């Protein structure tokens, strides 16, 4: 797959793209690109640009846009994963990276009764999301919200989704893959999906009931007990694979 570079919307000026900092150094020094070469740039808003380089220096690279592709590399759905914050920040950051690769559009860190931390390393998290977006061939930078109490998330996020699920070991919980395949939203136009993943120690019964009362369907992720970050990755992967199987023609092309 072709290497992608990131330029925020402020760096796109008409048909001209300006890259600086680490992106410019990578292009000029590591890849040794020259004027006339072609690269691909994403803006994090769903646009992938084919860019012909005009000026290449380690401090700044300038190019002209030859072609624009909308929603390049994006899945045919909008998936929000609300997931319990982890005491081990490195494990949470692993989830952030893999969530982008698995097609997650929005990540909501949850404050729950069993959550032990209430903060993120915001700039580091943004850097991880950006790098994963470029690496995985996507063009939209996923949203990462502030840590939010679960009651607020259930009240505001769940009702706006076409399908809502809570991962829980309930007796009546069916596999997430089964629930996705049976969902009428699978054949809809970019449905909004919402998944709740518990923290270390899981959700409390009252939290599960609140989610169910708001319309979230309980689902299982398999026969094994998973760490929080693993559960988030498995859930996102199950949804990605279900959509790829049911509606393969809607898959966005990758370079």
Q: How many CB atoms lie within 10 A of CB 72?
A: 21
- State whether residue 146 is helix, strand or coil: coil
CATH number of residue 14's parent domain = 2.40.240.20
Q: Which domain holds residue 63?
A: 4-70
Which residue is listed with tokens 């899981």? 202
In a shared domain, residues 138 and 109: yes
> Last residue of a domain, which of 37, 70, 103?
70
Query: What pLDDT, on the 0 to 100 scale, is given for residue 185?
Result: 62
Q: Which of 70, 91, 120 is the last residue of a domain?
A: 70
CB 101 within 8 Å of CB 132? yes
CA distance 242 to 149: 30
Same domain, 136 and 246: yes
CATH (domain of 169): 3.40.1280.10
Asked if the structure places residue 29 within a domain, the reply is yes
* Neighbouring C-beta atoms of residue 15, cutoff 10 Å: 12
Range name among 21-35, 125-139, 213-227 with the lowest pLDDT average: 213-227
Residue 157 lies in a domain: yes
Beta strands per DSSP E along the chain = 4-6, 12-13, 16-20, 38-42, 47-57, 60-70, 78-84, 106-111, 143-144, 148-149, 163-167, 174-175, 192-197, 217-220
What is the rounded average pLDDT of the residues 14-43? 97
The answer on pLDDT for 254 being more than 70 is no
pLDDT at 255 over 60: no
| 255 within a domain of the structure (yes/no) | no
CB 222 within 8 A of CB 242: no
Q: Is residue 165 part of a domain?
A: yes
**Residue 76 tokens, joined:** 């045919």
Q: Do 91 and 125 share a structural domain?
A: yes
Give the per-residue pLDDT at 158. Answer: 79
Distance of CA 221 to the CA centre of its chain: 19
Return the structure tokens found at 103. Answer: 């097609």
Buried b (16+ CB within 10 A) or exposed e, 199-222: bbebbeeebbebbbebebbbbbbe
Total domain count for the chain? 2
Q: For residue 129, what pLDDT is reported?
A: 98
CA distance 202 to 204: 7
Instruction: Compute CA distances 90 → 39, 109, 197, whole Å.
Output: 32, 14, 17
Residue pLDDT, tens place only, 151-187: 999 999 877 899 999 999 876 889 998 999 888 765 5
Question: Pick from 23, 51, 70: which residue ends a domain?
Answer: 70
Q: How far apart (Å, rounded) are the C-alpha atoms in residues 229 and 219?
A: 17
Report yes or no on 159 lying in a domain.
yes
pLDDT tens-digit readout, 45-96: 999 999 999 999 999 999 999 999 999 999 999 999 999 999 899 999 999 9
């Amino acid at each position: 797959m072709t290497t992608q570079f990131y330029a925020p919307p402020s760096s796109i000026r008409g048909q001209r793209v300006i890259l600086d900092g680490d992106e410019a150094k990578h292009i000029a020094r590591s890849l040794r690109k020259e004027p006339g070469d072609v690269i691909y740039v994403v803006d994090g808003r769903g646009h992938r640009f084919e860019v012909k380089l005009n000026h290449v220096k380690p401090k700044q690279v300038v190019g002209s846009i030859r072609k624009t592709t909308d929603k390049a590399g994006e899945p045919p759905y909008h998936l929000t994963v609300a997931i319990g914050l982890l005491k081990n920040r490195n494990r949470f950051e692993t989830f952030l990276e893999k969530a982008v690769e698995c097609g997650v559009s929005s990540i909501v860190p949850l404050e729950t009764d069993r959550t032990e931390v209430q903060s993120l390393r915001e700039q580091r998290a943004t850097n991880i999301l950006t790098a994963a977006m470029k690496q995985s061939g996507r063009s939209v930078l996923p949203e990462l919200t502030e840590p939010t109490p679960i009651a607020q998330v259930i009240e505001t996020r769940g009702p706006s989704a076409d399908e809502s699920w809570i991962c829980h070991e309930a007796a009546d919980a069916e596999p997430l893959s089964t629930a996705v395949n049976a969902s009428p939203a699978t054949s809809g136009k970019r449905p909004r999906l919402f998944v709740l993943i518990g923290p270390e120690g899981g959700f409390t019964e009252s939290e599960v009931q609140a989610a169910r009362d708001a319309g979230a369907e309980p689902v299982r992720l398999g026969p094994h007990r998973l760490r929080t970050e693993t559960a988030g990755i498995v859930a996102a992967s199950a949804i990605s694979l279900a959509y790829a199987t049911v509606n393969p023609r809607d898959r966005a092309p990758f370079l």
